[in-house]
Homo-oligomer: A and B are copies of this chain.
Amino acid sequence: MSLTFREARARDLPAIVALLADDDLGRNRENPDDLARYSLILGRIEGDVRNSIVVAEQEAAVVGVFQITFITGLSRQGATRALVEGVRVAAAQRGQGIGAAMMRHAVELARARGCALVQLTSDKSRTRAHDFYARLGFKMSHEGFKLDP
């Protein structure tokens, strides 16, 4: 079955929020009933040329989502890096290579923007995800720190 990628649209939000919420860590973080909130935020993201929500579509259904942000910095001689966040594949569609295709697409997007680096963090409890990223060629070279301000 063919998989296509495109930027998320407002009508995708119920499917996207369901994907974000159908996750061990996301379950208690999301509120699928408050679509207006997610709509506002999608509007802000649409207004930022450096930030995108990308959906993977199969047979007209959203089966995966990720966020990619292009960040210009001074270090590494002014390198732009791509930050990937919120990678989710629908539970019923796992094991078909959709996640790998999504990450290959993310790397293509990064290459097209001239990025020197693609980076992401994954909760230390997600050990299967770590193996997944390693198989795609990512190096688990950094510790990821988070703070609630």
Interface residues of A (CB under 8 A from B): 13, 16-17, 20, 26, 29-31, 34, 37-38, 40-42, 44-45, 48, 50-51, 53, 67, 69, 71-78, 81-83, 85-86, 107, 110-111, 115-124, 130, 133-134, 136-149
Asked if A45 meets B74 with Cβ closer than 8 Å, knowing A119-B145, A140-B145, A143-B121, the reply is yes
Other A-B pairs beyond A45-B73, A110-B149, A123-B143, 7, CB < 8 Å: A29-B75, A38-B74, A51-B71, A119-B147, A124-B143, A130-B143, A138-B145
Do the beta carbons of B31 and A77 come within 8 Å of each other?
Answer: yes
Asked if A147 meets B75 with Cβ closer than 8 Å, knowing A123-B141, A123-B142, A142-B124, the reply is no
